[in-house]
Structure 1
Amino acid sequence: MRKTMKFGLVTVITLMIGTFLPVSNLTSTVSAAAATPEIEAEAAFILEPSTGKILMNQNGDKKLGIASMTKMISEYLIFEALEKGDIKWDQAVPISDYAQQLSQDNSLSNVPLRQDETYTFKELYQAMAIYSANAATVAMAEAVAGSEPEFVDMMREKVESWGIKDYDLYNSTGLSNSDLMGHMYPGSNENSENAMSARSIALVAQKLLKSYPEVLETTSIPKMTFKEGTSDFIEMDNWNWMLKGLVSERENVDGLKTGTTDFAGATFTGTAEENGMRIITVVMNATDGQKDLQKRFVETDKMMDWAFSNWEKVQVYKKNDRLDEIKPLEVEKGKTDNLKVVAASDMSLLVPVNTDLKDKEVTFTAKKKALNESKKVEAPIKKGAKLGTAEILVKGDDLGYINGDSGEKVEVIASEEVEKANVFVLAGRWIKVFVSDLF
């Protein structure tokens, strides 16, 4: 993040894999939420992370500059290295000549680093997450991967594993390459900039919060002193001005990452939880990056107001609830002829407030090899046996989910045990069918 002036311190049952047939499709419409607000930014996006439901998409698929929101990927890789045991919080981080020189650039967000001082991963991580400290980020990247370019290779591999394809990543910080004192990723130049879409950044934030929710313990800190008690101490005011006590304070905001460069403008990935529902918001290029830094928080506040007022998480099924919308499966060679299915777990949907949950389309997809060539389940069948998945879609929902699904999914299992019929019962059934066919 480039430092600018601060003013204080967002059924038919599907029987063959790959075929989808609706089992329930009622005709009433979804209760309309209040009109989606027009956000004064180049792109805006809202995601509910536990389900992956998209609540807003304003130009969210255009690739734009991400600036220091890049550091969410760096944070993920640092937490991953900690989880693997490759590094420890109290481990000393060596400061290279480059990291030391970069830390002295007062036009950038930085904490001063010296080569004759000891800095731990914990200290440098806090500086990165709270103050968007760039040289601290570079030092950690070098310590984790051996060099910043090798760390960038890890970043690229990680985002691609998440399904993100249209991106540009050249450094660990989100700074413009022109600020890197010539230390550029091979093949890049001074005009190379980190870029992604708002959708992709929301996905990055979702992955970070899902895998390492403890990130919020640090991103929610409004102020902290770096190297307190030393001559190098510096007061770190969080660049997320929506935190408690800061100029754009909003209750329940606890993250996540700002970013500001001339290329990206003023950007912000925010997150907050209200009434048991968390959302992730992304605002990109709310201003040109050099004026009205509060604008991205004003727009985020509008987005949060709208999302929390107009959307709610509603439980559709509890674990072991019968899915009446799915026709019982036919059983072959069993003591009973059909089998009802139930939900393997609780399942909730994100819907506009006052939505009639009878208005849903349920599609069942059988698990591979769950059905035989006759499109039946063969006995014996154990209670709780995994049979497939049900996708639930509320009519009128056209935004879908961050993973590309059109509806929320729940695993479907057998409601009861079905024993295999003995040879005499099977013979009797065969005779009955034979005689029926004759007449």
Structure 2
Amino acid sequence: MTIQAFRGLLLVLFFLCSAASSQAAPYAAYVMDARDGTVLHARNHDTRLHPASLTKMMTLYLVFDAIEQGKLSLDQKIPISKYAASKPPSKLGLRAGSSIELRYLIRASAVKSANDAAAALAEAVSGSEPAFARKMTATARAMGMDNTTFKNASGLTQQGHLSTARDMAILGRQLFYDFPQYYNLFSRRSTNAKIKTVRNTNRRLLDAYEGADGIKTGYTSAAGFNLVASAKRGQERVIVSMFGGSSSSARNARVAELMDLGFNRMPSRKAESRPRRIRVPDGTGGNTLIASADTSLKTSPRPRLRAGVRSGDAAAQVIASAVSRALEDQQLPQINVAKNAPVEVAAAEPLLPAAMSPRRRPKGLTVAALTPTDTVQNRAPLEAKSVRADNRGTYVVQLGGQHNRSNAERLLLTTALQEMEALEGSQRDLQPTGQPGWYRARFVGLSAQAAETACARLAAARQTPCQVLTGG
């Protein structure tokens, strides 16, 4: 064997060993009915593993609590320490000695999973990251996360920083119920973080799985590809926690299968049983009672944009992502489960092959990409696209003035995606103006109250001028 051939063999062995080590993270999963916390499926769910950036769910939970208690405010400028700025990627790019509003640190942590932002949040709440980590662990114990110990705010690998699939599902449910006013952060495909616009690390699953609306991804070489995800269909909501995926596509596909399993097993109707209120340590030996919002499971209010904040750029990215991203053709093995089948909790389950992809896509998001030649002359008339089929009203929300067909369709889809709650039950509609090639963009089929609410929300967000009309 020549020296060159021997070196080539060593190189091949090195890459094979590297590939094997990258898939060596243990697998664990936990599927929960979010309405009452019932376990629907579990594998290795109490095995202590590296949570990676799932950790940031607790970081954000404590920040939201500090805001509720009046200790912090969204517009408060947070100084950036050398320690926070030195955190490794993923990061926002904060500079030591600078300052930035709290709201942008929250967005960067929730959407981009920025480690420098998480460290800055920890210092804002507790003065230092070690003190914040102790508060995180104490809060986890109060939630019933008995197998979790936090050592930092970001989830970077550190000795003793461990959690379980069950504990992270518990945390995801508590976050959803205690702070619904902030929950929509986790479903934003992109957001303005002041320094730059950041994209959601979970956007592929959000786009691919019907009803998915959060929550948090995580990855380190020690942890593998982790995810806590939530999805809602009708009155049913499932939370899935998964550790140890071999790739992001394998993780997303497996979580999609686990969500299907959960929806198949849970009853359509069930009395809601909210998680108990907990007391968050205040750092002085006492406790502070969290003021949980009295908001039902079916709502997740969207905070109104501040004056001067424009959402057009982010909306364009949402549309471009939804229109252009093609799902992979490879499919997962099916998990065939009868509705309400008994739950089996087993000790171990091997990782599925890496070449997997979720197969569902949200209803109402499948649209053809627009091209410069895509004009009114060579396209069929637009059919009304129902956001939901239970509309019975006769009021109309009309957006702006006249638009060409492409811009009108884009405006309707952008608005529908951003204001799903306000426009629930409406249909998208293009009304010819009488001038060839020009249309009015409208949402029809709303009640008077719903139409007025939707128009008020759009005006408050300065998204687009609108008016309420009657008569369909």
**Which TM-score applies when normalising by structure 2?**
0.51
Q: Counterparts of 2:119 and 2:262 in 1: how far apart (Å)?
A: 36
The structure with the larger Rg is 1
Does 250-259 or 125-134 show the bigger shift? 250-259
After TM superposition, give the deviation of residue 80 of structure 1 in Å.
Answer: 0.7
Asked if 1 retains the 8 angstrom alpha-carbon contact of 2:91 and 2:113, the reply is yes
- Does 1:167 find its partner at 2:148? yes
In structure 2, relative to structure 1, the CA distance for the partners of 1:226 and 1:309 (3 Å cut) is: same
- Does 1:79 find its partner at 2:64? yes
Q: Counterparts of 1:354 and 1:305 in 2: how far apart (Å)?
A: 11
Q: Counterparts of 1:101 and 1:398 in 2: how far apart (Å)?
A: 45
Q: Map residues 5-404 of structure 1 onto 2, 5 A cutoff.
A: 42-102=27-87, 105=88, 108-115=89-96, 117-177=98-158, 192-227=159-194, 233-245=195-207, 249-287=208-246, 292-315=247-270
* Percent of matched pairs sharing the same residue: 30
Superposition RMSD in Å: 2.4
Q: Counterparts of 1:132 and 1:316 in 2: how far apart (Å)?
A: 34
Q: How many residues align?
A: 257
Q: Counterparts of 1:98 and 1:354 in 2: how far apart (Å)?
A: 51
In structure 2, relative to structure 1, the CA distance for the partners of 1:275 and 1:144 (3 Å cut) is: same
2:214 is paired with a residue whose SS is strand
Q: Counterparts of 1:256 and 1:218 in 2: how far apart (Å)?
A: 9
After TM superposition, give the deviation of residue 193 of structure 1 in Å.
Answer: 4.8
In structure 2, relative to structure 1, the CA distance for the partners of 1:46 and 1:315 (3 Å cut) is: closer
Q: Counterparts of 1:316 and 1:121 in 2: how far apart (Å)?
A: 37
In structure 2, relative to structure 1, the CA distance for the partners of 1:145 and 1:277 (3 Å cut) is: same
In structure 2, relative to structure 1, the CA distance for the partners of 1:241 and 1:115 (3 Å cut) is: same
1:307 is paired with a residue whose SS is helix
Q: Counterparts of 1:206 and 1:306 in 2: how far apart (Å)?
A: 18
1:301 is paired with a residue whose SS is helix
1:62 is paired with a residue whose SS is coil
2:56 is paired with a residue whose SS is helix
Which structure has more relative contact order (CA 8 Å, sep 6+)? It is 1
Asked if 1 retains the 8 angstrom alpha-carbon contact of 2:235 and 2:269, the reply is no
After TM superposition, give the deviation of residue 353 of structure 1 in Å.
Answer: 7.0
After TM superposition, give the deviation of residue 241 of structure 1 in Å.
Answer: 3.2
Q: Counterparts of 2:47 and 2:137 in 1: how far apart (Å)?
A: 19
In structure 2, relative to structure 1, the CA distance for the partners of 1:62 and 1:354 (3 Å cut) is: closer
- String of CA shifts for 1:78-107, please: whole Å, max 9, x gaps: 1111111110111111111111222xx4xx
Q: Counterparts of 1:75 and 1:267 in 2: how far apart (Å)?
A: 18
2:213 is paired with a residue whose SS is strand
- String of CA shifts for 1:240-259, please: whole Å, max 9, x gaps: 134555xxx22221110111
Q: Counterparts of 1:133 and 1:243 in 2: how far apart (Å)?
A: 19
Q: Counterparts of 1:82 and 1:176 in 2: how far apart (Å)?
A: 28
After TM superposition, give the deviation of residue 165 of structure 1 in Å.
Answer: 2.5
After TM superposition, give the deviation of residue 64 of structure 1 in Å.
Answer: 1.1
Asked if 2 retains the 8 angstrom alpha-carbon contact of 1:267 and 1:284, the reply is yes
Q: Counterparts of 2:271 and 2:232 in 1: how far apart (Å)?
A: 21
After TM superposition, give the deviation of residue 278 of structure 1 in Å.
Answer: 0.8
1:314 is paired with a residue whose SS is coil
1:195 is paired with a residue whose SS is coil
After TM superposition, give the deviation of residue 176 of structure 1 in Å.
Answer: 1.8
Give unmatched runs, 5+ long, in structure 2.
1-24, 273-336, 346-472
- String of CA shifts for 1:329-375, please: whole Å, max 9, x gaps: xxxxxxxxxxxxxxxxxxxxxxx9766xxxxxxxxxxxxxxxxxxxx
Give unmatched runs, 5+ long, in structure 1.
1-39, 178-191, 228-232, 318-351, 356-394, 400-439
- String of CA shifts for 1:362-393, please: whole Å, max 9, x gaps: xxxxxxxxxxxxxxxxxxxxxxxxxxxxxxxx
Q: Counterparts of 2:196 and 2:76 in 1: how far apart (Å)?
A: 21
2:45 is paired with a residue whose SS is coil
Q: Counterparts of 1:135 and 1:65 in 2: how far apart (Å)?
A: 19
Normalized per residue, which structure has more helix? 2
Asked if 1 retains the 8 angstrom alpha-carbon contact of 2:264 and 2:339, the reply is no
